Amino acid sequence: MNELVLDRCFYEALSKSADFRQWLLGKTKFVALNVELVVVEEKKWHQTWYKDPETKKDSETDIMLIFCDVNSMRYALHIENKPDHRTWEPNQVENYEKRARYRMKKWNYIEFQTVLLAPVSFLERHKAEAAQFDVLLSYEEVGDFVPEFKVAAQKADSLRE
């Protein structure tokens, strides 16, 4: 199962499951907020492109989630999905926070967090890079809500054996 399919499965499950949303928000600094996923902006959620004004290089956010509270205050999660076989692009880790901060005004959110979504094996191999993200989610734990991630984690494990 490729990364794009996993991204879609993640977003669809999140948009349909209150339990999954609550669990995800429980991993973030937004845990105490009463927020709802903004689904009217669905086209923004996937592979949100950004051109760095300094380097002029393009980069993307794999999964972009915006949540809104009852006072219309908006909060964002910028998620990097890293399947086990993928590698880091130059400056990719640093660009996540930079891109999220740059997009605050355009997408009207007041706070954000960066999230790394990957199999446990990837998180263990890339501890230094993973530590630069605000939130770490493993495929194995997301697999409790999105079965395709459990399958992807098992496949990665079997390929390493």
31-58: average pLDDT: 72
49 pLDDT exceeds 80?
A: no
Tell me the whole-structure pTM to 2 decimals.
0.90
Phi, psi values for residue 65, rounded to 5°: -120, 135
Q: pLDDT-based confidence at 4, cuts 50/70/90?
A: confident
Q: Please state, rounded to an integer, the average pLDDT across all residues of the chain.
A: 87
- Give the distance from CA 71 to its chain's centroid: 24
Give the position of tokens 């499965």: 9
Least confident of 52-61, 82-91, 120-129: 52-61
Q: pLDDT-based confidence at 41, cuts 50/70/90?
A: low
Residues 66-108 have pLDDT tens digits of 999 999 999 999 999 999 888 888 778 888 888 889 889 888 9
Own/partner pairs for 79-82, CB < 8 Å, 24+ apart? 79/10, 79/114, 79/115, 79/116, 79/117, 79/137, 80/114, 80/115, 80/116, 80/117, 80/133, 81/3, 81/6, 81/7, 81/10, 81/117, 81/118, 82/116, 82/117, 82/118, 82/122, 82/126
> Does 141 or 1 have the greater pLDDT score?
141
Residue 96: its pLDDT value, please? 85
What is the separation, in whole angstroms, between the first and last Cα of the chain?
Answer: 19
SS3 110: coil
